[in-house]
Structure 1
Amino acid sequence: MGLLIDKIYWKIIWILTGLLFGIAGSLMILSGAFCADRFYDAGKVYDVEENGRKSCWNDTIHYDETTQALVVDTDTAVKNVYLLDKTGGWHDLCIRLSAMNGGELLTRLEFYDVNDVVTGSIDTVLAEGDNYIKTPADQFYRMDIVIEGQAGAAFRIDKLQFREKESLFSKSKFIIYLLPLWAGFMLLTGILYICFKKRFRKIPWYAPVEGLQKLFMYAGGNGEILHQRYSQKQKAQIRSGLFCSIFLITQICFIFQRYTNKGYRYLALICVVLLILTALLCWEKKLHILNWNNKFVTSWFLLWIISMLSDLIVEKRFAYMGYLMIFVMGFLFFMWGNMEHREWLLKDFIRGIRWSFLPNLLFCWLFRPVLPGYRYMGSWYSPGIFGLYILFVWIAFLAEMKFDYTEKPNIKHDLFSVCMLGICANMLWKTQSITSLLAAALAALIFSLKLWINRKKIRFFGIPMLLLVFFIGFTVNNYSIYHIPRMLHTEIKFSNDFYMDTATDHPFLLNVSAAEPGNNNRILYKLKTSVSLETLTSGRTLYWKAYLRDMNLFGHYYNATFWGSGHKPHNGYIAIMYRYGIFALVPYVMMILYNLIYAVRYFWENMYDDRKYAFFILADMLCCIWLLVMENLELPFGWICWYGMYLIMGVYFDGGKKEN
């Protein structure tokens, strides 16, 4: 059955491409650079994070959590601002103030170099709103805001930005340039299409895909050897073991900081070999050509072809991803599509996630105690990354719940699964990762929908027992991760452990009331103190802006550099644009859109059949789409969420069609 969006697919591609063309052109006109290597060439920009704007390093000024403003305590107060980027070159400063209890603030701005020598100072009056100041020195790493004779004054710093050049961006001018450029692109390309429409239609666009499948048929024939050697059950267990190995090897690689330029290539090679073995183990019968003639596959191929072209022009840290995705992941999708029961490999993937959790759980109980006042890092080195891992374990165990107790094995199976869910819930809560907790709640909501749809088949009399077992798992884990490592004196610390305060979300306690005993719930603190999108997203908006300022046509080698070092974007869409150029966003957005449509359709068609794992498909894809907005999902062969998005596509890669 065709989709409505299929009929307007190329129109959407056309409109989005024109929009990006207009945006790129407008930014080049505004900056006056006309450079394809950086559309908005406005020099370096340093945005001070919220923590730096409200931190108080002395007793002359403090942060009032009730009013969320800085309050001057003495006649001579100093607010220190430290810069991590010591390269200098800052000529302009923008300070945005709000929540002032007076009309203006008389200040002296003093600038210091790395030797704490004053390199310049300026007296200025700061008013509510934006204040633009020319800095008297361009080489400094610290700025002191000195306030004299104004004890009791209060103000909040909403924005503190150092710039190499004066800001040239204007929303009105941007729109004025955007609209004619967009319209011009649409008009010109529309005329070209009308002129060459017949020639375009004569080109056999699908022929290379058929040729690729023939290559896969030849390579996949080797799977018959494994099919003759192992039974179906043995192959399933091996496939689960291979998935489990991928997750654990990747985790070890990250923990020991081997996801480097050289280390990544070794990791990618290992994962590629394991994925090829998994594909060969999918062989069941003589292979045949699949029907990949759909818009989802078109988007997928367009994305990786653009990445291959980008690789030819700009060297990449994640080199040859287009080739690996087309020839390795494509091979896996081909072998998967030839399986009689595609849900079997999906079951193996879910089992691989569950298997990987057992060594992680033991490691947490024996060696990784929870520290009071800090978010739990578990078997990883960061609470956020550990939360992402536990999220997919949570979804995997939810997918295994059957609620059919006519057979004893189902009772034992559900009791074990719900106990693991209790453990996962406790670990997720300990991480205080809002992104993962919201995704877990979304998965639980979808699971509730599944229960409601199948309510006639479910034995609800066992639910009180399941709730009791869930609570037992929650409590046991809460006890174990605190007491067992301390009793055995077996605590292990990683060199890159990132301890983050449960309230302030920073690796050290601020001198504010948030650090007081009892206020250690990050989620409540975040909801209570968030006054902007930057605060609510833990500063992610600053990452996004830094990346968007650096967008270009052909992509970049690796991460953007700001705050004195490289940082990940915390957004999958921005990561793809930055890595492969802005036009890679078009097929990427379409691929994600079709992913969502096919996942919903798969759930709708198979929601009454637990063997199809329809819940896992929908929960996994919705959570991945959410993580794309807030997390670094786009790490090739990286965290489990990357596999959760890209590998699961194989279930409906042919659009649900089985004809050849």
Structure 2
Amino acid sequence: MSGNTDVLMKTKIFLVKICIWILFSIITGISCAAWYVTGGNITQFYNRGDSLQFYTEKIVNNLQNISFENEKFIIQGDTAQIVFDSLNKNNQWNYLKTDLYNMNCDSITAQIVFYDRTWQNVGEQELNLMEGENLYQLNGESFSKVVFCFENEQGKEFSINKFEISTDKMKDDEKLPAVSVLFSIICMIITGILYWLKIRYGRKGNYKWGRGLQSIYILVGNEIWRKLRNVPEKMRNFISIFLFSVMFIFLSFINVYGLFFKKMTHAYTMFVLIGCMLLIAGLNIRKPLKYRNWNNLLVISWIVLWVLTCISDFIVTKKSAYFSFYGYFILFPTGFLFFVWNNQENREKMLWQLLKALEITFVLCVVYCLMFRPETDGYRYKGFYTNPNPFGLYMAVMIGVFLCEIDYYIKCKEVKILKILPYAIGLTTAFFFLKKTQSTTATLAILCGALCWGIEKILKRHMKKTMIAVMCFVICYIPVSMGLQWGITNISEAIGTQIVYPVDYEYASVRDLDDLTGTIHVYAAEREDMSQTSQRIRQKLLNSNSINGLFSGRLYHYSTYLSQMNLFGHTKRATVYGSNINSAHNGVLAYAHMYGVYIIVPYIMMFVGYFSRAVRYCKSAENRNYYACLPLIIYVVFFLENMMDNVDIPFHWIVWFVFILLGGFLFSMREEEKV
């Protein structure tokens, strides 16, 4: 048996090394190819000068006397205009590249008028727009805005793939894919030879990862233990739950009022959050700390990831406070909390503290929503946030928490309905609010997480007990949802307690996705049933005609961030649609852009290691009834959301804290305690 285990372990290690080798080679190959083909440099591999692209979903919002139907622009009047006003600063834009198709004529004459930031005319130029890709040299002065004017072109039709303006002549990058493959193969050969030489002639030994960090943790932790060793157990648990709750409530507060992203207040918010984590860690040291076995993919990739962010911070100064020093905060205070957690005899005790804090926060959230945040007709519900999407993500996390609380009682010898009922009500409440947000990504993410939960129940043959839990949910759903609907409609209005935030975004509850280009028609005045959540998902998956629309226009964000990759990262976010406040809408791209392209390797491997150990814990915890599926469900929710919206912003979201804390919980398992 031991021999089979050793073979399996060696096979896993071999596969991990192969994945890292391939990832590293692909990243190196693409980077070198971009550098070679476009004449890039170490600060920007893909060098095309400053450029700005306008895709269809951005253009349709700036039309005058031009209709947009079935992906076609139709000129309706004798005088028509398309306005491009998304630039934030003047620039000497010298070239325009158009990509038109579906034209019902040979050409369309357009008078282009250039404006500066104050809408002062700085030049004009006449162009004949033709089908296909065409490059035009512009003769305007430095400008910020462009207006395409069409005179006497009524009835002409065309479709736009994209418009792009740039400072330099756009280079031919059609050979980039082939060159990337060539460089990737060369890199694989070179690194393969170097690794063989290391194996053949290098020193052999079992390096213990994280040993230096653990020494620091032990030095600090044992000193804290001496000071707090006499604190009663009940008080430790009470204060820990209280501090977790304070963290989650504080996170919601700073997000609502934008304090996290303000330079003047960011340091204070970090002080509160780090202070809470250190206090929680200190209160959970019940005996002298000892070294743990951290020789696994999750921990190794976690250490490498945050060391690389520290290196990037040292070389490239981040202009925004909330991008700086995260590596140090994660490796030391956060890592210290993980180490203390791994040293617990009863590791599920801190897990229980975390869940109780989440449940307490959830109850307070529901009361707050009923008392102060009414639903607005025709708009998606935002709850205690300013945006429905993070509120939906929070509800997805709470659905996972309540599923695992129910799971605990399903695995008991006897199902106690009265014990399940409170969590069934909580599950119903979270599900109700998730539907109200109509958050597509959060809904799909928790559906995948719930699917994992259901499959685990089928495999472990808990169907009878699971059906009892499902019936509790069904019975609770109608009265709970009706009560909540009445509450968010009437309570705050009746007692006059509505709270409106300084920045309160309104998102229409009905969105018709006519095509996959991302075109959105908003009907804010109509009140629709909340089944629109599933309707929006079906529309996106079935009724769209382009990949970009399926991703709600995110492809331009992706391409912009990819085109600006470099070795050590940037001082701030990429400029998208003329603004550097737009996120990458993808965690991998966000980290690679901010901290350097090679951070992709440990970042992806960290997720691989997390998933592997979450599945392993789900199996190993089966006989102990300790929330076996929770790390796996939270992983699925966070991973899927992070691929579509960059939620991996350290210390920012509740979901990030839950995800990262459960990752630390998985750093070491009982069977690995021998070091």
TM-score (norm 1): 0.90
* Conservation of the 8 A alpha-carbon contact between 1:30 and 1:174: yes
CA-CA distance at 1:38 after TM superposition: 1.3
Whole-Å Cα distance in 2 between the matches of residues 122 and 116 of structure 1? 16
How big is each residue's C-alpha offset from its partner over 1:77-124, in whole Å with a ceiling of 9 and x where there is no partner? 223332232323222223333444555444333333345444333433
1:135 matched to which residue of 2?
A: 138
Whole-Å Cα distance in 2 between the matches of residues 158 and 369 of structure 1? 41
The one-letter code of the counterpart of 1:41 is: N
Whole-Å Cα distance in 1 between the matches of residues 410 and 247 of structure 2? 32
Give the counterpart of 2:96 among 85, 93, 96.
Answer: 93
Partner-residue secondary structure (3-state), 1:300: helix
Whole-Å Cα distance in 2 between the matches of residues 285 and 124 of structure 1? 78
Of stretches 305-314 and 615-624 in structure 1, the one that deviates more from structure 2 is 305-314
How big is each residue's C-alpha offset from its partner over 1:353-374, in whole Å with a ceiling of 9 and x where there is no partner? 2211122222211221221222
How big is each residue's C-alpha offset from its partner over 1:502-554, in whole Å with a ceiling of 9 and x where there is no partner? 34599xxx995856746794545545663322222222222222211211111
1:577 matched to which residue of 2?
A: 592
1:374 matched to which residue of 2?
A: 379
Change in Cα spacing, 1:210 to 1:387, as seen in structure 2 (3 Å) is same
Change in Cα spacing, 1:417 to 1:129, as seen in structure 2 (3 Å) is farther
CA-CA distance at 1:258 after TM superposition: 1.4
Whole-Å Cα distance in 2 between the matches of residues 52 and 593 of structure 1? 36
* Conservation of the 8 A alpha-carbon contact between 1:68 and 1:529: no
Give the counterpart of 1:387 among 383, 386, 392.
Answer: 392
Whole-Å Cα distance in 2 between the matches of residues 142 and 337 of structure 1? 57
Give the counterpart of 2:51 among 32, 45, 57.
Answer: 45
Whole-Å Cα distance in 1 between the matches of residues 479 and 596 of structure 2? 50
Partner-residue secondary structure (3-state), 1:635: coil
Whole-Å Cα distance in 1 between the matches of residues 172 and 591 of structure 2? 24
The one-letter code of the counterpart of 1:48 is: F
2:661 matched to which residue of 1?
A: 647
1:422 matched to which residue of 2?
A: 428
Whole-Å Cα distance in 1 between the matches of residues 472 and 649 of structure 2? 41
What's the RMSD between the two structures over aligned residues? Answer: 3.0
Whole-Å Cα distance in 2 between the matches of residues 511 and 586 of structure 1? 36
Give the counterpart of 2:405 among 400, 406, 418.
Answer: 400
Change in Cα spacing, 1:246 to 1:512, as seen in structure 2 (3 Å) is closer
Q: Within 5 Å, which residues of 2 pair with 1:221-370?
A: 221=222, 222-223=224-225, 225-231=227-233, 233-259=234-260, 260-316=262-318, 317=321, 318-370=323-375
Change in Cα spacing, 1:114 to 1:289, as seen in structure 2 (3 Å) is closer
Partner-residue secondary structure (3-state), 1:634: coil
CA-CA distance at 1:125 after TM superposition: 3.5
Of stretches 525-534 and 246-255 in structure 1, the one that deviates more from structure 2 is 525-534
Structure 1 gaps of 5+ residues are none
Partner-residue secondary structure (3-state), 2:133: strand
2:79 matched to which residue of 1?
A: 76
Residue 23 of structure 2 corresponds to residue 16 of structure 1 = yes
Partner-residue secondary structure (3-state), 1:229: coil
Whole-Å Cα distance in 1 between the matches of residues 214 and 668 of structure 2? 12
Give the counterpart of 1:444 among 441, 446, 450.
Answer: 450
Q: Within 5 Å, which residues of 2 pair with 1:499-538?
A: 499-504=506-511, 517=526, 521=532, 522-523=536-537, 526-527=540-541, 530-538=544-552
Whole-Å Cα distance in 1 between the matches of residues 240 and 512 of structure 2? 39
How big is each residue's C-alpha offset from its partner over 1:12-61, in whole Å with a ceiling of 9 and x where there is no partner? 3233222222211111112213x211111212222235443112554x22
* Conservation of the 8 A alpha-carbon contact between 2:80 and 2:151: yes
Residue 113 of structure 2 corresponds to residue 110 of structure 1 = yes
Residue 614 of structure 2 corresponds to residue 612 of structure 1 = no
Structure 2 gaps of 5+ residues are 514-518
Of stretches 285-294 and 591-600 in structure 1, the one that deviates more from structure 2 is 285-294
How big is each residue's C-alpha offset from its partner over 1:328-350, in whole Å with a ceiling of 9 and x where there is no partner? 22222221112122222222222
CA-CA distance at 1:179 after TM superposition: 3.5
Change in Cα spacing, 1:603 to 1:138, as seen in structure 2 (3 Å) is farther
1:470 matched to which residue of 2?
A: 477
Whole-Å Cα distance in 2 between the matches of residues 513 and 195 of structure 1? 62
2:516 matched to which residue of 1?
A: none
Give the counterpart of 2:493 among 486, 495, 504.
Answer: 486
CA-CA distance at 1:175 after TM superposition: 3.1
How big is each residue's C-alpha offset from its partner over 1:565-607, in whole Å with a ceiling of 9 and x where there is no partner? 3222121111221222111111111111111111112223334
Partner-residue secondary structure (3-state), 2:230: helix
* Conservation of the 8 A alpha-carbon contact between 1:503 and 1:519: yes
* Conservation of the 8 A alpha-carbon contact between 1:224 and 1:283: no
* Conservation of the 8 A alpha-carbon contact between 1:454 and 1:608: no
Partner-residue secondary structure (3-state), 2:271: helix
Partner-residue secondary structure (3-state), 1:86: coil
The one-letter code of the counterpart of 1:39 is: F
How big is each residue's C-alpha offset from its partner over 1:280-302, in whole Å with a ceiling of 9 and x where there is no partner? 23223443221112233221221
The one-letter code of the counterpart of 2:559 is: K
* Conservation of the 8 A alpha-carbon contact between 2:586 and 2:643: yes
Give the counterpart of 2:611 among 584, 587, 596.
Answer: 596
The one-letter code of the counterpart of 1:256 is: Y
* Conservation of the 8 A alpha-carbon contact between 2:111 and 2:127: yes
Partner-residue secondary structure (3-state), 2:286: coil
Change in Cα spacing, 1:514 to 1:463, as seen in structure 2 (3 Å) is closer
Whole-Å Cα distance in 1 between the matches of residues 281 and 46 of structure 2? 44
The one-letter code of the counterpart of 1:552 is: N
TM-score (norm 2): 0.88
CA-CA distance at 1:472 after TM superposition: 2.0
* Conservation of the 8 A alpha-carbon contact between 2:511 and 2:522: no
The one-letter code of the counterpart of 2:604 is: V
* Conservation of the 8 A alpha-carbon contact between 1:637 and 1:643: yes
Q: How many residues align?
A: 649
Partner-residue secondary structure (3-state), 2:499: coil
The one-letter code of the counterpart of 1:267 is: T
Whole-Å Cα distance in 1 between the matches of residues 246 and 119 of structure 2? 51
CA-CA distance at 1:620 after TM superposition: 0.6
Change in Cα spacing, 1:177 to 1:466, as seen in structure 2 (3 Å) is closer
Partner-residue secondary structure (3-state), 2:672: coil
* Conservation of the 8 A alpha-carbon contact between 1:397 and 1:417: yes
Partner-residue secondary structure (3-state), 2:477: helix
Change in Cα spacing, 1:191 to 1:106, as seen in structure 2 (3 Å) is same
1:549 matched to which residue of 2?
A: 563
Change in Cα spacing, 1:612 to 1:72, as seen in structure 2 (3 Å) is same
* Conservation of the 8 A alpha-carbon contact between 1:451 and 1:458: no
* Conservation of the 8 A alpha-carbon contact between 1:425 and 1:474: no
Whole-Å Cα distance in 2 between the matches of residues 69 and 93 of structure 1? 21
Partner-residue secondary structure (3-state), 1:647: helix
